[in-house]
Structure 1
C-alpha cells in the first residue's frame, strides 16, 4: 500500500531549521488546509449587534439578524478564495479573500460561510429570488 504524502503547503520542513524563519516567515499564511487552522473570528469575533454603529449602518436588519453576523476581529486573516462582505460598506458587494489580507478596524468583514443564505441575499439587496430549473 502506498503511503500518502501530506499536501505540500502543510509540509513544515521545507528548509533547514536554522533558515526557516528567514526563507519562509509566514509559511502557511492564507492557506485553507487542515483542521488545525486558526479561526479567531469564532473565538474572539463579535456580532454586528455589539457594534453600536452597525445599528445605524444596517437599519434594514433586525436585532436577531445583527446577532447572526459574526465580524472578524482586527488582525484576523481572510482565507484564500473565501467569500466575505464588508457590512460597513455593503455597496461594494462580495469580497474574495487573498493571502495577506487581514481584518482591521475600518472594515466589518463577515464570512459568507457563516451566514444563512437568506440573510446573505438580504445583505446583497436580493429580496425576491426566482427559482429556476425544470420540473413539473
Structure 2
C-alpha cells in the first residue's frame, strides 16, 4: 500500500485573507516572522560566507580558510527566524541570542545562524 502525500494545499497562514486591492494596506508584511520552510541558507545567493568578508577574515585569524567557508553570514535586511539562535560576529563578546519575529539583520552586523554553522565553531 502506497501512502498518498498531497502537499499541493497551502499552509493556513500562507493563504491571503484580504482582497488583492486591500492586502497591501491591511497586511503589508504577510508571512513576516513565520517559520515555514527554511530561512536564509548558504544555498541562498544573498548569504555570504565569512571567508568573503575581509573584516571577518582579519578578526577570525584563528580560523582556516576552509573553516571560514563554512560560516554563513546573513545579508543586511534579512529577516531572522523566530526563536532561532544567532551570533553577531561584530559584537566583541559574540554572545548567542534568540531572535524574535520582527528582527532583521541591521547594517554593521555579521549575523551567523548557529543552526547552519558547524557546532565546533
TM class by shorter-chain length?
A: 0.7 to 0.9
Counterpart position of 2:73 = 71
DSSP 3-state at the match of 1:88: coil
- Superposed displacement of residue 10, structure 1: 1.6
Counterpart position of 1:88 = 90
Q: Which has the higher helix share?
A: 1
- Superposed displacement of residue 60, structure 1: 2.3
- Superposed displacement of residue 75, structure 1: 1.7
Consecutive unaligned residues in structure 1, runs of 5 or more: 120-136
Alpha-carbon displacement from aligned partner over 1:24-83 (angstroms, at most 9, x marks no partner): 10010111114xx66376222111111111122223222221111111111211111111
RMSD of the TM alignment (CA)? Answer: 2.5
Count residues in correspondence: 114
1:97 aligns to 2:107 (yes or no):
no
Cα distance in 2 for partners of 1:49, 1:105 equals 19
- Superposed displacement of residue 6, structure 1: 5.3
Counterpart position of 1:130 = none
- Superposed displacement of residue 7, structure 1: 4.2
Counterpart position of 2:40 = 39
| TM-score, normalising length: structure 2 | 0.78
RCO (CA 8 Å, sep 6+): is it higher in 1 or 2? 2
Consecutive unaligned residues in structure 2, runs of 5 or more: 1-8
Cα distance in 1 for partners of 2:117, 2:92 equals 15
Cα distance in 1 for partners of 2:76, 2:53 equals 13
Change (3 A) 1:38 1:118: closer
